[in-house]
Amino acid sequence: MQLAVFLFCLLGSALALPKARMWTRDESRIIGGSNADIADYPWQLSFQYSGSHICGASIISSDWVLTAAHCVDGMYVNLMSFRAGSSTRGSGGTVLSASTGYMHAYYDSNTIDYDIAVVQVSGSLLGTNAKAVTLPSAGYDPAGGLAVTITGWGLTATNGDLPTTLQKLDISIISRSECQSIFSGINTVTARMVCAGSAGQSVCSGDSGGPLVSGSTQVGIVSWGVSPCEASPGVYGNVGNLRSWITSAAGV
């Protein structure tokens, strides 16, 4: 079985869903969040392309990064880098260049299913305020009501600017059945997805590709939603469901 697509020069494809406009990398936002300290979320990375922040990502080993497939789709590996160990997306910490990577072979840019990718960097990401997140066991599926936290450098208001300081927002998992009813007629919420968020405490993407954690365990990867998103939950790649793929692709 083909498990991964090698990332070097990927064919670009537009993110779109029928009957609703998706937010994209450029529209990532954490609405209602507050400033966070990287020391409390040392796995958080700023995924940069040609030196500019485009997505979030997380440290899963000394030299492997976990992010969303839609963040790397159409991108060149030699222009990717990751900033670790800094609460500020544009300075501090350590910046390492990508050397290779893979996205799931079944990733679908229309349905945003199998929205997962791993990237290897040329050096060690670990250090001061930089450590690997814990990954769940294969098959783990977070239950509705589980308290989770999203972090990233997404917009803090619909028409706002990207913050320079890391943001966080505490939200809860929504059951898959409830989430599917919310997105009925828009997209199918598959077993490779989990939903989190609530009206008035909105996460559009939080920061595409970034980690959704329960404590220090990553249960989700920021994936998709619809615009306007203030009253809708966000949808995340289900790390537990895709855990065996991570091992196959990155050996982690």
Question: Per residue in 91-135, pLDDT tens?
Answer: 899 999 999 999 999 999 999 999 999 999 999 999 999 999 999
Whether 15 is covered by a domain: the verdict is: no
Catalytic residue among 70, 81, 113, 205: 70
Identified catalytic residue from 87, 115, 205, 232:
115
Reply yes or no on whether the pLDDT at 179 is more than 80.
yes
Model confidence pLDDT, tens digit, residues 195-235: 998 765 555 545 889 999 999 999 999 998 877 666 678 89
Any catalytic annotation for residue 141?
A: no
Q: Which of 46, 87, 208, 223 is catalytic?
A: 208
- 127 lies in a domain? yes
pLDDT band at residue 18 under the 50/70/90 scheme: very low
What's the mean pLDDT in 39-54?
96
In a domain, 240, yes or no: yes
Quick check: 203 and 31 in contact, CB under 8 A? yes
How confident is the model at residue 140, as a pLDDT?
98
Q: What is the average per-residue pLDDT within 169-181? A: 94
CB of 245 within 8 A of CB of 173?
A: no
Q: How far is CA 226 from CA 28, 122, 193, 232, in A?
A: 11, 35, 15, 8
pLDDT at 126: 98
Which token pair is 125? 């990401």
Q: What is the mean pLDDT of the chain?
A: 85
Q: Per-residue pLDDT for 88 more than 50?
A: yes
E strand or H helix at 143: none
Segment 59-67 mean pLDDT: 99
Provide the β-strand partners of residue 64. 120
The answer, yes or no, to whether residue 21 has pLDDT greater than 60, is no
Quick check: is 21 in a domain? no
Burial class (CB in 10 A: 0-12, 13-18, 19+), 112: buried
Residue in 188, 211, 164, 189 with CA at minimum distance from that of residue 56: 211
DSSP H or E run through 61 = none
Report the pLDDT value the prediction gives residue 11, as an integer from 0 to 100. 28
Residue 18: inside a domain, yes or no?
no
Tell whether 142 is covered by a domain. yes
CB atoms within 10 A of CB 199: 9
Flag whether pLDDT at 25 surpasses 90. Answer: no
The answer to whether residue 120 sits within a structural domain is yes
Q: Say what the pLDDT of residue 121 is.
A: 98
Number of domains within the chain: 1
Say how many Å lie between the first and final Cα of the chain, rounded. Answer: 19
Backbone φ/ψ region at 71: left (φ over 0), alpha (ψ -120 to 50), beta: alpha
Element at 181 (helix H, strand E): helix 176-182
Higher pLDDT: 19 or 242? It is 242
Q: CA 146, CA 151: separation in Å to the nearest integer?
A: 16
Inter-CA distances, 124 with 65, 172, 206, 219, Å: 11, 33, 26, 23
Q: Range of 53's domain?
A: 34-250
Residues whose CB is less than 8 angstroms from the CB of residue 13 and which lie 6 or more positions away in sequence, other chains included: 73, 74, 109
74 domain residue, yes or no: yes
CA 189 to chain centre: 17
Strands 44-49 and 52-59: antiparallel
- Alpha carbon of 90 to those of 61, 162, 189, 239: distances in Å? 23, 11, 34, 28
Q: What percent of the chain has pLDDT over 70?
A: 78
Q: Specify the CATH number for the domain of residue 172.
A: 2.40.10.10
